Structure 1
């Protein structure tokens, strides 16, 4: 027989409303009251690869990790990560033997705007520290305070088989897919769920979701036989079904639709009673707004239909909060719902939008203001903290600037989707911001700024926006400053210009260079809008052998050939330019689709001025042998009609140098306000160009990169703008260090080193010279590749191909690395000078003669270096199908995705890789992906992944140490100490414990403090004493 709930009392006469006199305080939900165990109705507003972000009532946010979906889904995740074939699954049935091994993504199981029932699992403090790393992640950061779970075992906790009556709504996880339907785990021990195939087809529910073991289904009971509840996943039925009675208090779960009776009207809302003996409240936030008083709209005794939104687990007796808002009562998707003009809420009220004329309609003295928004049916809310820059203790509805009826200019700061409320601010500091999102910042705009902070490698300047602008050292001034801290001090007012706005990094960069700030020349912000013959200013970003890379705005770049630097002869770009220098250029070529441009300094000078430049003087004639004369081939550029000094030609491989004035490269005199000793300036007037000798890197010559690795390095150097950390500032310093560059030599085989030295002393000048060298060194890929480069410099592409083929036939079969070098050189040649067919043919041949996996990855590097990102991706896709069992391939592919700013694509590869890799390689692969997150992705994601690894594989000390090394990179001392604490809590041998303490001590010395060092030493002694005390010995 069914026991009556303890809370049930004899029903009162519902006709006598005055019999109910007790009034219940209407309590709002906040982060303090959201305690573990609280059940709540939530709406999904964002889906990431590892978690769901949800909106809660009362304008709260929370997150649901992928491990908190259901027990069955978590088991699938564990199995995918588990490399120990002997580990036993904790599943209660054998469904895992039947399920599809492929793990779905969260966005395959859930949709933005869907309603879910959840339970608070954990609360976290101090989650607002740190900067949002990417625009759009503000919600993710704000959701850190609350962690929820959707697991039916938590949501349906307390239910029994008696509660599963007809029309009862619940949630369940797919346990297994059978021939005639779906077995559902309801999280209740004495009842199982079943959805027949016929019912599934009739319901219209997405069968792709239902086919996934562990997926959650919204369910309504249609009938019950013995211990099996027959269910339907029909969403329409779920939304409209309501219970006429409740068997137990636990059956009243957030999301349940019910009939209630008003028992009291309070200033803060309503008291209601349902099922005759359960009490609830409805706050004014969840009552549709009307001008009529609540007492007239909801007289005591009135019956209303409402939906439970959360419970109060700590109240005694247990109480519930309900909602009358139409979109909650009907469970409609407020995120995708469009207004008459076709806009969604997020479109109409984008963050940062200024709204004029909002009018106060209700004041909650300790909470905030409710306002109407012109031309909108939505209600706005201004939190008490968003009213003034100073602290506001309380609000008055009848007096003051924010009384009922007052109007204000407000700015959108967010949206609460569950409450369907636009969150606004009227704080002056918010209203005066020039932008609220990085993407709203106007690139090229000149703005007033205030120096906020000077760091070693950057300066932070407040420009009245949502983030401070970063100024890199190369942009402090038109010239290099030895002591920038003397010029720029905190709170100093500066005039700056926005260089770039990178929403994906939530970063704005700016310049303080006077030439750029004061420039009235056109601003170049994209390749598409750039036009040929445009004259503008640019900054030298990097210097190459054949020219320089120039940077404009928004990370747009152009190549400046060495021949376009000046009308007079310039052999090396570094002789005339330095990194960070501002130059006036004219755009001479635009290839918008390829994202390439070419510029010239020389052509910015009027022709009549160029005619007045000093010409090179002719060198003295000398008698030479016939075979040493410089020949001219058709198509070659003739630099002058003078005779060339052969000795100089051999050493310099160029024309002779002469004195002259570089008119096109004038040094700006008004380039710094600093004292002389603070400025390093190089006078180029009447200065003889410096004669430099530079060793050619192995497998690289003539400005043409042959080796895939070198290509990638060059790409990274060119792709790294002046705003990327300290690499450019170092280069800037080196480039100006007495105008000299130290020689760099690469170690190689002894005989090849001798050969390279010989070639540097007297470079080959003809085919005969190379042929003579090859007679002595037929197996040297270095000589063969130099020979290829020599022909390419003469535009003899076919001859270069022939030389490569000769090399492959000539080099001995044991010299596999030498042959490999030539293959890479040939692939580079075809990539640069050939077409798609010749490249593909060469690629196939290279694969047949070399290790296929290595060659695929090399070719991907070559294509990436030449910015053919789609082609590189295709190579990786093909490689994963053929060589998916190799971890290095998946890691390289993911790293490539991160480099091309496809972070989501990189992260999705982890799931795909686990399907292809041997089970024993899973942990190693997951660890590699976690390391990538630390290095080029999101360190927080990396932490989450590593925490999962050490939790599921606590005995793998190497993974603990990798995690510790990654945390040390971020200098997260508190996090490191926490990890060491967890590690030492395990049962460790003396040898392992010693290595742990040694590592901890080293880290404390490097990035910790003296207290940390002392604490580690004390812990080590205590650990040893405790072990001896218990008589524990290593076996």
Structure 2
């Protein structure tokens, strides 16, 4: 069998192409005939009964055993699966003739040829024509009229009409069907000027940002309209770029149809994909001329600037007073502040607002952050959109506020000590508990809900600190005017006054005197003739009392009060509230007696306690007698006993020392109060986190509680719950939890380094990257992981290379690690190359201070000398330099430096500062001769300056 097949293959290969041979019909099929060639060892071949150039040959022309003459059309290759193709002699000749004619027809036309064609069909985007002999072409909608024409391109064309057209592109061969596609024709007047044959070049993508073009709709999707700009260039239009009117955006798909002309401005160019992005021209504002030609369409930066009026769609309604998230581009969102939703101050600004709603917005501000993200602040206030000046005022700057200004705002958050309100997107104000109402507010969280509209007046506005105080009390006049009603001069020792307990402390009561804002102290020893064992059991905040004035100190704004029964005469008449009980205390309804911990400066206790890491030791206002136990006892006894001579104005240093001591004692009181309320079981912690879900302090305490029992997995799950639960706006609270999570994984992670890095990468997505890096760095430094800290410093100085703080932290770390001088110099040089000019002096000065403190004083001196060589008149730098030398205590160097600086030619005001500093130093040394020397130098300077 194998030998026979080889002989058969050899016989077939002996055939020559186009050779005529005799064949015998073996089998007749519908579309082909199987033949054998006797002359060539009965080789088997196949003859098709039809092809593209001839009609089907009738089957009855061929019978089994019939002898016919055929022409070899194709010889099989060496592949065993190859076939021998034979053509009946008549069919082969027809095929050759047809092929030669087609070749001749095709050779007559080429790009640039002018042809006469007949329109056979008109479609929305193209016209189909026929020309020549069975040739077809098409005219694209952009190849009819010039670009500046406004009429529809196909309006003057009709089926059967003959036109002159120029070939602009050759017919391409379809790989799918094997046929030639239509020729590309154009009937633009500019291309038909010459009746002779001319060449036309393929149009290039020469469009640029801000060009105004006309395009035609190809397809309408839910959010995009696809358009054709030319035969090779496409464009697309986003729904929010099509209009600024909500009614038009709502009917986006109905406004466009295939073939419709759209005029737009280019806001994005993708040359690789030959794709443009458009913004509807009729309703858009002028855009910045920014070339985005190197960017892909998917990453085009949105061209938005302050003052633009744009269309938007409400993506999300944030909880509480978070405002709105508005989509203003395919990948761009903006924020609408809660005060920028409606024109007027209304109780429910979100009424009628729903997600997915189209809105008209005004861009208030655009800020591009360091990591590349864009923050856009928007307004939905219709009067602001129309630039009307009659809209309800929003104070954008603290400088616009002054005491007495009437303001409105929405409550942002509430705690037992007062609340914060939003006056505008830029200004917030604080209202302390005593200013919430003319009446006593028992439960601020109940009476003032988040989002509530309030109206009040400004008590104080400090532009430098950014603090604004507001009062909601109905009575007119400022705080100072109220004090005029009852002032210290109106009070007299021995008077019995009406008052209300403001706060209860272990050392006494703070009592607010009625019809005033004066606060007096009733020491625990003055509450009763008998010792008071538990002051909290006898008095509560809000109780009405009638104390007697024991002592008045107008200079120090202090009033001592007493409630002992022995202070009151037996014939004292009853007041309108009933007879006195227990030394002037009037019983109240227990249900109304509030549990209050004072104003904003009083002790913070759980629940709702802020993390101690973020709350500094609290300072105490002297006019409210907020002092520690010991100091309160001492000073109250001094005032009560009339020892005014012992109460004198302290020196500044003594006051500072006393203040710090008070802070320490108050912090201890806070801690003791906190320990009483710390939960002892998981169920108690669960109740606490439900009542204070946004308090990182509570969550971290919960984690620590679980770690005390070695339940690491449960602590991790609590950390994850905290990150999911804490409101997204509470960034600092979230950051506290992330830092606690770092420490947990650093202690219990396996492997520790990888576990910490995973949490770190997650934290970067939700918090300020710089703060997260600094938190991780602090952990590495605290746990002495110096190698990891060094690696982190390398990344930080690359990512935050313009941050003076980061570079200073690196220098401090290097100095504490004992790095050599050359290494420190290299870090300083790198920092100077990266930092902006405005930060370099600060950086060099702080570096010199660090060198003084870390034991390389010579390098610090050299650095200060270099700075002062360039800026010899900077007295602030001289002062810092002198302070560092004074701290080291080398008298010769210090005096030499003072002599240098006092010889400079500086303005009198600066020289006065330097001489006073010199004199203070010499007085501290106690050398009378040197003191006279300084005074003499000062006199010489005065005489020279007068001359």
Same fold (TM over 0.5): no
Rg larger for:
2
TM-score (norm 1): 0.29
TM-score (norm 2): 0.31
